[in-house]
């Protein structure tokens, strides 16, 4: 007989709706999983067990069952403030910080009827694509604890992949949902810019970071996406304003469940970084990618190769924006010793940028966004590898040499950041594994507002590959599932 964590988030929600499982019962189940598994994996910076139990009781008594995520557990990424809960932003600079107010990303999930169990681990201020922060132990990949899960939503990914949560929200400013999802065998969706009200990207530097779901299945990702967009089922409080959106209303769960349609797909293995770095795709990643493209053709989709137009201006512009993002950190000579070396390097480089240089970088990325949308306009979606390499070992990234560290991040994930610059939606799907049973993901990039198409294609692949049934060894405490 399956345990609760063996069920999909959607099936757990159905049991809650029918009263066959109580909200407190489900909360206790996941708190017990966290207590047993997290000491080895380091997915959580903070577990708020008593607060979660109190919240579960409140949801059962006071929150309408019509809310989108009624009774389902989740955890906040530690970049999100929740009133009265320690929020470190992955930094020793905020090690004891207790926020007096909550961010919209937290209150929206409360409005959706969810139950937060704590804070998932992130690198310092979410600036890196790996989750090894000095404010806590490194977060470890449940498929091999000597490896990392990627980042910056690494804690969220590990919590979901190991069955400590049914799904989890993350944020993605350059691949921070898709990278850890691919490294831990999950579905990870970066929504279009403007799609999720509490994490729209609108108003942030270059419009890069957005909020989205990590889940074990396409339908669970769609369920959480609906909760992020419209917590109570009512229209979102903030209008969705992207060009020619395919689906401005949702819910996206319907598109994911149906999984219908035949689409024209572009297939691409180059990236905007190719002129600046020697990008090498691992042979096992390439093999899985080729097999997935063949399967998509078998499913009836049109397949056509596509290559990016050369964009030598992209790497230095994105690098400048990455550095500028650290310029406003609340650190100076009196406390910057608490920052990690990479963060200090980014902060000082960002503060050294002149207004003309920053303005030029922003203009360059804006032009690049228009170019990408034009180049992809004849396709319903573009297929790329998610990552160029399998999961990296703990300690693989150089923490002290900023130049080398930046290059390592590019070599690992060259296919993700340009999607944030373009504002397009993208989903990573766990379509295969290496011979040593490490997950391999494939990325689909959609048109502006094209999340429904991505979910439909993902569900078609999921029906064939059944990746939701595959779990890491830690999933079963008695024996390995594989």
What token pair was written down for 231? 């917590």
3-state secondary structure 103-124: CHHHHHHHHCCCEEEEEECCCH
Q: What CA–CA distance (Å, rounded) separates 435 from 144?
A: 13
Q: What CA–CA distance (Å, rounded) separates 267 from 261?
A: 18
Catalytic (active-site) positions? 77, 152, 176
Alpha helices in 325-354 (DSSP H): 341-352
Q: What CA–CA distance (Å, rounded) separates 269 from 251?
A: 32
User: Are 139 and 149 a contacting pair, CB within 8 Å?
Assistant: yes
CA distances, 181 to each of 130, 149, 176 (Å): 12, 8, 9
Cβ burial, residue 49 (10 Å; 0-12/13-18/19+) = middle
Q: Residue count of the chain, please give it.
A: 482
Cβ burial, residue 85 (10 Å; 0-12/13-18/19+) = buried
Helix (H, G, I), strand (E, B) or coil at 355: helix
User: Are 190 and 210 a contacting pair, CB within 8 Å?
Assistant: yes
End-to-end CA distance of the chain: 18
Cβ burial, residue 478 (10 Å; 0-12/13-18/19+) = exposed
User: Are 72 and 114 a contacting pair, CB within 8 Å?
Assistant: yes
Give the gyration radius of the chain's Cα atoms.
21
């Amino acid at each position: 007989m399956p345990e609760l964590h063996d069920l999909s988030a959607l099936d757990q929600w159905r049991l809650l709706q029918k009263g066959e499982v109580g909200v407190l019962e489900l909360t206790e189940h996941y708190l017990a999983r966290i207590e047993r598994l997290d000491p080895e994996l380091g997915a959580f910076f903070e577990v708020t067990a008593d607060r979660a139990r109190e919240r579960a009781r409140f949801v059962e008594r006071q929150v309408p069952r019509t809310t989108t995520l009624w009774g389902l557990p989740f955890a906040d990424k530690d970049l999100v403030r929740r009133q009265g809960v320690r929020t470190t932003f992955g930094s020793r600079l905020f090690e004891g910080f207790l926020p007096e107010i909550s961010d919209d990303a937290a209150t929206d999930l409360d409005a959706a009827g969810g139950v937060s169990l704590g804070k998932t681990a992130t690198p310092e201020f979410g600036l890196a694509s790996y989750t090894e922060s000095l404010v806590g132990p490194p977060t470890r990949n449940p498929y091999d604890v000597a490896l990392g899960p990627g980042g910056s939503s690494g804690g969220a990914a590990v919590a979901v992949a190991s069955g400590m949560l049914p799904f989890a929200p993350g944020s993605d400013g350059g691949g921070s949902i898709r990278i850890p999802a691919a490294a831990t065998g999950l579905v990870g969706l970066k929504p279009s810019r403007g799609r999720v009200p509490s994490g729209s990207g609108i108003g942030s530097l270059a419009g890069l970071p957005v909020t989205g779901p990590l889940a074990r299945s396409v339908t669970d990702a769609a369920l959480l996406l609906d909760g992020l967009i419209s917590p109570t089922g009512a229209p979102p409080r903030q209008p969705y304003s992207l060009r020619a959106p395919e689906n401005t209303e949702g819910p996206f769960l319907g598109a994911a469940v149906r999984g219908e349609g035949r689409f024209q797909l572009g297939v691409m293995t180059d990236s905007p970084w190719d002129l600046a770095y020697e990008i090498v795709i691992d042979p096992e990643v390439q093999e899985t990618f080729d097999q997935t493209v063949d399967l998509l053709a078998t499913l009836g989709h049109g397949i056509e190769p596509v290559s990016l137009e050369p964009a030598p201006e992209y790497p230095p512009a994105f690098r400048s924006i990455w550095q500028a993002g650290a310029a406003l950190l609340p650190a100076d000579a009196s406390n910057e010793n608490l920052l990690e070396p990479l963060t200090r390097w980014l902060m000082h480089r960002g503060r050294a940028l002149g207004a003309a240089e920053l303005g030029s970088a922003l203009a360059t990325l804006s032009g690049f966004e228009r170019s990408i949308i034009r180049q992809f306009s004849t396709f319903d979606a573009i297929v790329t590898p998610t990552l160029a390499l399998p999961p990296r070992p703990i300690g693989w990234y150089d923490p002290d040499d900023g130049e080398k560290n930046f290059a390592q991040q590019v070599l690992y994930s060259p296919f993700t950041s340009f999607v944030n610059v373009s504002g397009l939606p993208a989903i990573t799907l766990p379509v295969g594994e290496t011979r040593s049973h490490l997950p391999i993901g494939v990325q689909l990039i959609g048109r502006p507002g094209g999340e429904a198409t991505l979910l439909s294609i993902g569900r078609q692949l999921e029906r064939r590959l059944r990746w939701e049934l595959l779990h890491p060894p830690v999933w079963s405490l008695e024996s390995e599932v594989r």
